[in-house]
Structure 1
Amino acid sequence: MDFDDLDDVEATAGPQGLQEQREKLQTASWEELAAAAPFPRPKGRGFGGAKRLQKVLYLHGPGSNKLMAEKQVQAVFKNLKWVVDFELLEWHFVEGAINYKLEEIHWDPAVQKIFAPFGRPCGESYDGYMSYFSMWNESHQDETWLGPEASKMAAEGLGACGSNGYEDVLEHMAAHLAENGPYDGVCGFDMGASLAFDMARLAQEGDKRFTEKFRYLVLFSARGHRARAQLSQGSLRPKAPLQIPCFMSWSREDDSKQYSNYEELALYVHPNFRRICVHGQGHRPPNLKKGTQECELLDAFIGEMQADTFSGVQEDGPDIYKDFWLPLPREPAALPEPPMKVIVVVDPLGEHGPTAAEAKADRSRFPAQEPLEVCQKRLSIFRQVTATKCEDLLLEGWEVLSAAFQPSHVSLRWHPEIQARDSSVAYSVDAGRSRWLQAEDEVALPWSKLAEVAEQLLESLEVGRDSVALVGLGTGGIVAFALALALVRRGVLPAKLCCACPPTVWPEGAPGPGSLVTTPVSYLTCAESVAGPPWRFETSTFGPFAQRHFEDKATMVATISEEINGFR
């Protein structure tokens, strides 16, 4: 993208100039988005056994099988008028090739009770719990997908290895599509939904194995590749938003994954091609009830797929994502004019968060799927970050300013108060907060109050119109963001925003995409963190965005120093 037309705007001083620059970048981004390649759908529609019957492929979740998948399909679609009145959908199923015993794939005893009747007897346990791939370091920052061959190698102690980790899975799906396609739609849950999205990504990128094989997606609890996945799987995220009609649904009470994974993946679908439906039934394909908005949304989508009249305009449902998409085109960073000041924002609460000892004493508070030693490590690292002080950072040679919190700031309710989840049940409606969403990763403070705190802090800092870089630690990371936004409102473009373990779940009213214009943003965390994808930080700027890992306080300090000293 050519940004030469922004030169005049960059030379314009004051808030208005930065606002005009943001609007130009937003327009240029939308034009590039609109020019992305159309999805290579098959010719025609109604590929089922009857003239108007839709042929749909269903891909199941981890540790499931065809029998359970059939039950899930019935629960989701049984009350849809289009489906019931016209017997509209002809279902096909493909099982994964990795075979697990019950307790190998479902660690939570409450989940085991639900899945047990659907296995195949095998001694004192069950097997027949099938998966397409295994999840190496599941739900952590370096989660990596391993197909049957790579999973076998990993079990033999060879670690995550291979070309991309799951090419055998893609080959298996490509062979099925070649023999049985085309389909009208592909529907999936969890791992199956992620695989369906990946097939669509490859199709839009021109992979002939997946082109002209299906024309829409229905995805429940789908997530994409993590940016810091092993085997460079982070590079497999879409190069442009997909332009395939896509119904995407998830729950914010999901006790199997961080729901922000689902939010991030939705941003990789073109805003004119996605429908979003948030339900309250936890981690499962929802049992849609008659007369509910969720049921009507999916029914309308299926009707549009039948009539081939999809408009891309969602009248109902959440609209907080409507202006967001990924990936964004990036404007190269410019070196700041000297002198540069560095504002450090420590955690206003000081050292806080659960301790490693608490994780061992009360396992029910923490994700059932997470190994204890991994949980203990990430809790310990988080407490190291929140305990870090300004003088701990290696920022010699810079004029360092420390944001001074007032007692009234410290006493604010920064994070939500968590009620214990009933871990004796699974897949229940309104079961409560997900254990993957740690309280410290969510901001409870209204955005208006957060902006007020930032303005008060900025008044006490001698900044003027100097070049300013900001460093935020823990909860201080969201304050550093708010400070960066306050500087933009004053017409000062921050030279850098660098945050270590900041909250990634933000309150309503949070600023829209490109709010920091072209400020370079770096998001730092440890590989063991269970925070969801930092899509709020990633979409906040049209400048460079980077996500980096550290191992402990020492490597965090070194990484921050490297980020800031890069301006020399």
Structure 2
Amino acid sequence: MASFWEVVGGADKGGILVREGQSLKSSELPGRLSTGAVLGELERAGERLRYCLLKGTGPAEGWISLKVAGKDLVQPASTLGGVPASPEPAEEVRHLVPPSKVFPAPTSRCFGKDGKMKMLYLHGGGVSKTVAQMQLNSTFKEMPCKKQLEWTIWTGPHAVPLGWNGDFSLKPFGPNFTVYFERLPYANCQRETWEGFDKTLKEFKTFLRENGPFDGAMGFDMGGEFLVHVAGLATEGDPDLKEAFRFLMLFTSTAPKHLSPMGKDRIKAPLQIPTICSWSNSDENHPYMEYEELPLFIHPNFREVIVHHDGHKPPILKKEQAVFWRFARFLDAMEKGREFTPSDHSDNAVRSKLWLPVQRSAPSQPKAEKRRLLVVPDPVGVGADLPKAIEALQAMQARGEPIESQGEPFVSGGTPPKPIQRLELLAQVCQASPEIFQQAAAAAADSSGIDVQGVSFTDEQSRIQWHCDSADVPSRQLLSKDIIDDEKRDSDAQEMARRFLEDAKAGDAPLALVGLGTGAFIAFAVARELVSKGIRPLGLWLVNPPLRLPWSCTSEPCILKDCPVHVLVDRDSTYGPPWRYEVSTCGPFTTSLFVDIDEMVKRIISDVQSL
């Protein structure tokens, strides 16, 4: 189904005819739709199309024919629509998708007064109902269906003071600031838990009994995160959440991390509820990889991914924006009760074959007497922005400025402890050499079973610009070392992987792989190269790997087949989720923390010895 169309007919008539309704007998609208105009699809009925005008001249909205006398009047346009969406996962991996249950949505629709859509909004943390209403007014100001949306705002049950979120400019809109839960011990922590969630859920169920059902539920930040959990619980059969709403709109929302106490409550199978997942990569509050992960918990046939450019807030939708009409198309389908089909936009296409969670299997392989461990160090070293970040913090500390703070639940948010030491540990990872693994293996109780090999880089390989420039890092939550977004870097890594395997010592002993920092991306390429040759690595250990990778190396699920993948990150990091590596395998996948280089190295050596 095309999302956007280009008018190709009517050149000899000043454009094509537009009618008010679907019927060919309905009234003609004044003016013709110009040849070359680009349209957003709102509805299709046979050979008739209801559109919204994105580029060109003519009626802003109406019905046109796709063909006249066998000749095309419009053709699918890829300029705004993106590449065609890929099909569902291939047959050989489809069994790895956990069986999804039908979402228990209400059977009717338009529950508001006078047939309006009854909508529910859950705001972000630390704001008031007044701020939430302002956000709604700003986001939907120009939306065609604005008058058909009847909003209810449900504020969080936990009161917090002005400035809980660090924003004291909200004083004129107080005093009743609330949250749905508190992020402990600090936001984006690998162990982050949501204090107060159970109380919020209990009160929300009471609210639903008294005010539901709703057509749609929209959540921003923690409001969206709470709603995803509600949808998951409803799907799993919670009777108090049955028939609560029909669709979701989630802005800048995340899923709990694996190591969080909430990790056990991650969605069990892709949700079958029409959902918009929208965020900005320039968001300053969370690494955007957290936002990228959440759509994978929505079944591909039900999700519309929309990346906007408005930072950490619901987007300000304008008619001249393509994203505006993607929202409009979604809401129009929800209002009319039509089955929603995701658009062919690239935001959807690049992840259309991916999902979480993956049904995993443990590879069966006899314990090896001899093992080889190939260590790929960081070809970049510490890079440019890591030392600058350390120097900036040291300068703040020298001036007597605080560089960390301990939060108080429901009073103020905390920050990661010892930020300078954390970055210094990351620098040690980037400078670590294969020799420290050789030394650890030699010192281990059973040292005879592991042959540690390292790779070295040529001057040409070391000069490759793996990461984006520091000026192009979209958020203060990230370093340039977190991002490899140039698609050419994937082919560079694959070429290096082939050369490293050619140069590696020959032997029949099975091979395990370790990648450090940027080297983790190259080790990932080595693992893919081995699997492509029918050789399964013993395992792949990735230490503080880049999290944004070229789409070409992650668009297909389970490319490593059942190769075990283990991601290790430093304990105090605010690192985003390594979902790109998670979806690459149907074998075991783990994340774990380390406090220093010695612990990290010894753990990997011990893991390899146990295989």
Q: TM-score range by the shorter chain?
A: 0.7 to 0.9
Q: Does residue 515 of structure 2 align to residue 472 of structure 1?
A: yes
Equivalent residue, structure 2, for 1:15: none
Structure 1 residue ranges without an equivalent (≥5)? 1-21, 121-127, 148-165, 421-431
Where do residues 549-564 of structure 1 align in structure 2 (5 Å cutoff)? 549-564=593-608
Equivalent residue, structure 2, for 1:46: 110
Where do residues 503-522 of structure 1 align in structure 2 (5 Å cutoff)? 503-511=546-554, 512-522=556-566
Equivalent residue, structure 1, for 2:496: 453
* Higher helix content, 1 or 2: 1
Equivalent residue, structure 1, for 2:194: 145
Match of 2:217 among 186, 192, 206: 186
Distance 1:407 1:250 in 2: 39
Equivalent residue, structure 2, for 1:97: 157
Distance 2:425 2:551 in 1: 28
Where do residues 230-249 of structure 1 align in structure 2 (5 Å cutoff)? 232-249=261-278
Equivalent residue, structure 1, for 2:22: none
Equivalent residue, structure 1, for 2:379: 348
Q: Which amino acid aligns with 2:189?
A: H
Match of 1:175 among 184, 190, 206: 206
Deviation at 1:458, TM superposition (A): 2.0
Equivalent residue, structure 2, for 1:325: 355
Equivalent residue, structure 1, for 2:538: 495
Deviation at 1:247, TM superposition (A): 0.8
Aligned residues of 2:189 and 2:416 also touching (Cα < 8 A): no
Q: Which amino acid aligns with 2:245?
A: F
Match of 2:426 among 366, 369, 382: 382
Q: Does residue 395 of structure 2 align to residue 361 of structure 1?
A: yes
Aligned residues of 1:241 and 1:268 also touching (Cα < 8 A): yes
Equivalent residue, structure 2, for 1:58: 121
Distance 1:205 1:462 in 2: 51
Q: Cα deviations across residues 144-198 of structure 1 (Å, max 9, x unaligned)?
A: 1111xxxxxxxxxxxxxxxxxx211110111111111111111010011111111
Deviation at 1:99, TM superposition (A): 2.5
Equivalent residue, structure 1, for 2:588: 544
Distance 1:78 1:532 in 2: 33
Aligned residues of 2:330 and 2:340 also touching (Cα < 8 A): no
Q: Scaled by the length of structure 2, what TM-score is found?
A: 0.77
Distance 1:564 1:97 in 2: 48
Structure possessing the higher radius of gyration over alpha carbons = 2
* Count of residue pairs the alignment pairs up: 495
Q: Which amino acid aligns with 2:325?
A: E
Deviation at 1:415, TM superposition (A): 1.7
Q: Cα deviations across residues 172-229 of structure 1 (Å, max 9, x unaligned)?
A: 1111111111111110100111111111111011111211111110111111111111
Q: Cα deviations across residues 334-380 of structure 1 (Å, max 9, x unaligned)?
A: 2255543111111123345336443242599x999773644223212
Deviation at 1:400, TM superposition (A): 1.4
Distance 1:351-1:438 versus aligned 2 partners, 3 A rule: closer
Distance 1:205 1:532 in 2: 27
Aligned residues of 1:338 and 1:467 also touching (Cα < 8 A): no
Q: Which amino acid aligns with 1:326?
A: L
Equivalent residue, structure 2, for 1:427: none
Distance 1:25-1:524 versus aligned 2 partners, 3 A rule: farther
Q: Cα deviations across residues 513-564 of structure 1 (Å, max 9, x unaligned)?
A: 1111110000111232122100001000011111111111122122212221
Aligned residues of 1:190 and 1:223 also touching (Cα < 8 A): yes
Aligned residues of 2:485 and 2:548 also touching (Cα < 8 A): no
Q: Which amino acid aligns with 2:93?
A: Q
Distance 1:93 1:301 in 2: 21
Q: Scaled by the length of structure 1, what TM-score is found?
A: 0.83
Q: Cα deviations across residues 317-346 of structure 1 (Å, max 9, x unaligned)?
A: 412111110001112122255543111111
Match of 2:325 among 279, 288, 296: 296
Aligned residues of 2:274 and 2:302 also touching (Cα < 8 A): yes
- Where 1:102 maps in the other structure, the secondary structure is coil
- Where 1:74 maps in the other structure, the secondary structure is helix
Distance 1:215 1:23 in 2: 29
Distance 1:47-1:508 versus aligned 2 partners, 3 A rule: same
Q: Cα deviations across residues 379-410 of structure 1 (Å, max 9, x unaligned)?
A: 12212222222121222321111112112111
Match of 1:399 among 433, 446, 451: 451
Name which of structure 1's ranges 546-555 and 432-441 shifts more when overlaid on structure 2.
432-441
